[in-house]
């Protein structure tokens, strides 16, 4: 387990290193981060991305042009066009913010502050030159924008691939940590279970207790403690079908209506058993008429014998009917014995 913990610490150190590298890349180029988030390439020559990338770098080139023109108009005391260009600058920055990361203008200016400052300085210098050489400056801006677009598109792919690799590696390390933590938990659980068994305790439903306690818990869980009071008559029929399945039979319920005295049909090794189930309160005993009805259903279902199961008991006369045909009468006592044998004792032996 110590080796697991050591590996986790090493992974956590590497994750911190990767997070610093990712932060540095994203800070240097918000466009790269945006491209990774949108899962696109910055390759200018990629036909599938050319429209998106041209739009991105066209906005950047236009931003530089507007900054230059804004300074130019202010220098020539043309404040109307100067402020108009300034408004255009804010609009372009806003559009870049939406394109990059869908953040507001203020957030994007804060995020790209260093880059925008460079554009302003460059625009200011170009505006000074443009007073004497306006055509030269215009040509420079166009050529610069084109060269910058192509350069950024080519070099952007490298940064994007690097960022994707770092993020994938980070996710991979988190997966490794999860696997190691699960292994640690499993190892600790096995040690705990070994200690509990060494004490003679048995596990049941995520609880540990003595065999006697577990037996009691099972009886409560099954419903023996309150004679299946929590089960509806329909659920009790399903439970009896499950009991016969535990006994090795293939059991199925009959339709809820028109069953002619048979709630479950069970078969095993060519033998067919008809089972009638009555969930009665104690003191409400089964009558001879009910037993005779089930006995008569044997021939209808072509069964070999019948079993009448009840949570109460049978009247004296009903017990006399038992000798009239192949039928077994299971009262509360016999039912509880069979449930303990096949649901509790047999399961304990298998474990």
pLDDT in tens, 35-92: 555 554 444 444 344 444 445 555 666 666 667 667 767 777 776 776 676 666 666 6
Contacts of 216 (CB under 8 A, 6+ apart): none
Which of 135-149, 166-180, 310-324 comes out lowest in average pLDDT? 135-149
C-alpha span between 329 and 199 (Å, rounded)? 42
Q: Are residues 14 and 149 in the same domain?
A: yes
Q: Is residue 193 part of a domain?
A: no
Q: Is residue 185 part of a domain?
A: no
More confident call, 86 vs 305: 305
Q: Are residues 14 and 113 in the same domain?
A: yes
Q: Are residues 222 and 169 in the same domain?
A: no
- Structural contact between residues 100 and 26, judged by C-beta atoms closer than 8 angstroms: no
Q: Please tell me the predicted confidence (pLDDT) of residue 242.
A: 94
- Structural contact between residues 237 and 253, judged by C-beta atoms closer than 8 angstroms: yes
Percent of all residues in the chain with a pLDDT value above 90, rounded to a whole number: 31
Q: Are residues 157 and 70 in the same domain?
A: yes
Q: Nearest to residue 42, comparing CAs of 152, 140, 116? A: 152
Over residues 252-258, the mean pLDDT reads: 78
Whether pLDDT at 105 is above 50: no
Helix (H) or strand (E) holding 209: strand 207-209
SS3 call for 11: helix
Q: Is residue 287 part of a domain?
A: yes
Q: Is residue 198 part of a domain?
A: no
Q: Is residue 187 part of a domain?
A: no
State how beta strands 250-253 and 264-268 pair: antiparallel
Q: Is residue 197 part of a domain?
A: no
Q: Are residues 38 and 166 in the same domain?
A: yes
Q: Are residues 160 and 231 in the same domain?
A: no
Q: Please tell me the predicted confidence (pLDDT) of residue 18.
A: 87
Q: Please tell me the predicted confidence (pLDDT) of residue 218.
A: 87
DSSP state of 285: P
More confident call, 63 vs 99: 63
C-alpha span between 171 and 40 (Å, rounded)? 20
Note the pLDDT tens digit of each residue in 173-192: 999 999 988 988 898 999 99
More confident call, 259 vs 328: 328
More confident call, 115 vs 285: 285
State how far the alpha carbon of 338 is from the alpha carbons of 156, 249, 306, 312, 329, in Å. Answer: 76, 14, 16, 15, 13
Q: Nearest to residue 287, comparing CAs of 261, 319, 264? A: 319
More confident call, 128 vs 210: 210
Tell me the residue range of the domain where 143 lies.
2-175
Model's pTM, two decimal places?
Answer: 0.51
Query: Which pair of structure tokens corresponds to residue 319?
Result: 């017990």
Q: Are residues 257 and 309 in the same domain?
A: yes
Which of 77-86, 95-104, 131-140, 146-155 comes out lowest in average pLDDT? 95-104
Q: How many CB atoms lie within 10 A of CB 288?
A: 17
Contacts of 282 (CB under 8 A, 6+ apart): 227, 311, 312, 313, 332
SS3 call for 314: strand
Q: Are residues 232 and 137 in the same domain?
A: no
β-sheet bridge partners, residue 115:
none
Q: Are residues 15 and 158 in the same domain?
A: yes
Query: Which pair of structure tokens corresponds to residue 211?
Result: 């065999």
Q: Are residues 249 and 317 in the same domain?
A: yes
b/e per residue 102-125 (b: at least 16 CB within 10 A) = ebeeeebbebbeebbeebbeebbe
- Structural contact between residues 293 and 308, judged by C-beta atoms closer than 8 angstroms: no
SS3 call for 264: strand
Q: Indicate the number of domains in the chain.
A: 2
Q: Are residues 281 and 338 in the same domain?
A: yes
Q: Are residues 154 and 228 in the same domain?
A: no
Contacts of 303 (CB under 8 A, 6+ apart): 262, 265, 272, 273, 274, 297
C-alpha span between 315 and 290 (Å, rounded)? 11
Band (pLDDT 50/70/90 cuts) for residue 134 is low
Band (pLDDT 50/70/90 cuts) for residue 262 is confident
Q: How far apart are the first and last CA of the chain?
A: 28
Q: Which among 156, 175, 194 is the end of a domain?
A: 175
Q: Is residue 180 part of a domain?
A: no
């Amino acid at each position: 387990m110590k080796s697991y913990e050591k590996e986790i610490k090493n992974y956590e150190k590497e994750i911190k290193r990767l997070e610093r590298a990712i932060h540095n890349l994203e800070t240097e180029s918000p466009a790269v981060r945006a491209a990774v988030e949108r899962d696109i390439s910055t390759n200018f020559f990629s036909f599938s991305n050319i429209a998106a990338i041209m739009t991105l770098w066209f906005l950047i080139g236009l931003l530089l042009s507007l900054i230059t023109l804004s300074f130019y108009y202010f220098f020539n005391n043309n404040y109307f066009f100067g402020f108009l260009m300034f408004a255009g600058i804010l609009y372009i920055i806003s559009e870049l913010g939406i394109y990059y990361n869908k953040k507001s203008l203020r957030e994007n200016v804060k995020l790209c502050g260093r880059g925008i400052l460079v554009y302003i300085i460059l625009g200011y210098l170009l505006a000074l030159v443009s007073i004497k050489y306006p055509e030269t400056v215009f040509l420079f801006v166009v050529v610069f924008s084109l060269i910058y677009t192509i350069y950024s598109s080519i070099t952007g792919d490298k940064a994007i691939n690097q960022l994707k690799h770092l993020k994938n590696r980070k996710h991979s390390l988190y997966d490794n940590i999860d696997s190691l933590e699960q292994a640690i938990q499993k190892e600790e659980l096995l040690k705990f279970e070994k200690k509990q068994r060494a004490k003679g305790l048995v596990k049941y439903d995520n609880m540990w207790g003595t065999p006697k306690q577990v037996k009691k818990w099972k009886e409560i869980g099954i419903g023996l403690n309150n004679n299946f009071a929590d089960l509806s008559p329909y659920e009790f029929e399903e439970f009896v079908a499950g009991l016969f399945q535990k006994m090795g039979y293939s059991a199925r319920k009959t339709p809820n209506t028109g069953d002619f005295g048979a709630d479950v049909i069970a078969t095993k090794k060519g033998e067919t058993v008809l089972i009638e189930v009555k969930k009665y309160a104690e003191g409400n005993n089964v009558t001879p008429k009910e037993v005779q009805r089930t006995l008569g259903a044997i021939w209808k279902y072509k069964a070999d014998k019948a079993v009448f199961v009840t949570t109460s008991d049978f009247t004296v006369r009903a017990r006399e009917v038992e000798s009239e045909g192949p039928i077994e009468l299971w009262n509360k006592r016999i039912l509880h014995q069979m449930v303990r044998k096949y649901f509790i004792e047999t399961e304990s032996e298998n474990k």
